């Protein structure tokens, strides 16, 4: 079992969710986050004044999946979240040692 965490631009959330649903992902967790990458934010001009925006709004998607879906999930996220612009995001994959569904007590792959 793996957990795939993707940091993407907020306006891409619906497209990514639809792509994940299409390949058989049944649930995901979405969190609003802020951060910056190599560019350390950017500057914006508002009413003639220049402002430095250090932390950019992003969306974090977390998906717990079986090992055999990892490649397809990464491919679906990258294909739908990519704009070709700076700040498209990142994907991280980690192993899950154990999963338990609280309501039924199911464990590991059955809990996903």
Q: The domain that contains 10 carries what CATH number?
A: 3.30.70.120
Number of domains in the chain: 1
For the chain, percent helix, then strand, then coil, each to nearest 5?
Answer: 30, 40, 35
Distance CA 62, CA 92 (A): 9
Tokens of 43: 């500057």
pLDDT tens digits for range 32-91: 999 887 777 666 677 777 777 778 899 999 999 999 999 999 999 999 999 998 889 999
Nearest alpha-carbon partner for 29 in 5, 62, 2: 62
Nearest alpha-carbon partner for 59 in 18, 17, 94: 17
Which structural domain range is residue 28 located in?
2-111
pTM for this entry: 0.84
């Amino acid at each position: 079992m793996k957990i795939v965490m993707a940091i993407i631009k907020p306006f891409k959330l619906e497209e990514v969710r639809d792509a994940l649903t299409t390949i058989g992902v049944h649930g995901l967790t979405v969190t609003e986050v802020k951060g910056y990458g190599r560019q350390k934010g950017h500057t914006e001009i508002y009413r003639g004044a220049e402002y430095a925006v250090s932390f950019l709004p992003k969306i974090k998607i977390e998906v717990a999946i079986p090992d055999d879906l990892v490649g397809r999930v990464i491919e679906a996220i990258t294909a739908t979240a990519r704009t070709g612009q700076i700040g498209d995001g990142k994907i991280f994959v980690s192993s899950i040692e154990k999963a338990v569904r609280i309501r039924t007590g199911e464990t590991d792959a059955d809990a996903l």
